[in-house]
Amino acid sequence: MFKLNLKIALRNLWKNKGITAINVGGLAIALAAFILVMMYFTYETSFDKKNPNYDNIYIVGRTFPDFKTNFTPPPFSKAIKDAFPEVVAAGKMKPGGFEFAAFTDQGTVFTKQQLFMEYEAAKMFNIVPEGGLEKPNGTETFYYLSKPYMQTLYPNKADNKPEIVAFGSKAEPMTGQVKGSIIPDPHSNISFDALSIVNEIGVGESYGYPNYYTYIQVKPGTDVTALESKINTLYQAELKKNGMIEEGENATVTTAFLDPLKNQHLRPKAGNDANYKVLIALSLLGFAILIIACINFTNL
């Protein structure tokens, strides 16, 4: 009986081979599209997940009446670290606002994503140069280039020793030491092609210079909502103490907030969530295509 039913089914499929090919091909294309969408979904939702501190890192931002920003004043990170024991680390970073040339006799590169970062932030984000992450002494600065840039400048380099590189104009160059190279993670919110690591950035700058990204790492199990409230209270107190709020002025016009690292790529509080909406729409479309193809196939 089974063989007879199989023969009848095969005969019907052959008789309607055009429709059969369309349905089978449609299902195959739908499956391929669904798999691609799911791969894209996984990629977009896993930025920085390789970081062992992923679930405990937050960026400190500020809310104004008309907008939100992730830029904060430099003294605030130390104030947070000193005030709250649940904060195990606090570090700042600042993107460079310029592009410059670095060159040797063997090649030239143009750094477009210069990043200044504190040692604590480098540890927090698990940034490890080739040869290991070292803590600068005092006001010492360790300057690194991305691995591809270092290979362009020194194509035959086979060790992790520092090198001397010229910067700026070839007519009147300035020289400096490059500590080593770093293989940047393209799947991270922290991107750079040149990195300066120091113990502290923004030294001597007050609350009137909110030009830095402040990240904190909290202890596992920390009540983040309660911590956010305490950080906001601290921020108001710091503004008053440093003369940033005049007598009688409403101190709550500007508030501080915490935003988890996992939100920074798709749903940042101080940013645009258009990418997140596109991702959800593509995912729903992928499911819809797969369901329609399956229904057509079952009606074969």
- Sorted by where each begins, the domain ranges of the chain are 2-45+275-298, 92-198
Task: Report pTM.
Answer: 0.88
At residue 248, the pLDDT reads: 45
At residue 172, the pLDDT reads: 83
Q: Please give the Cα distance from 123 to 80 (Å, whole number).
A: 18
Q: Which of 201, 49, 219 is nearest to 125 (CA)?
A: 49
68-69 and 57-63 beta bridge pairing: antiparallel
At residue 49, the pLDDT reads: 94
At residue 240, the pLDDT reads: 86
Residues of the chain with pLDDT under 50: 248-249
At residue 92, the pLDDT reads: 97
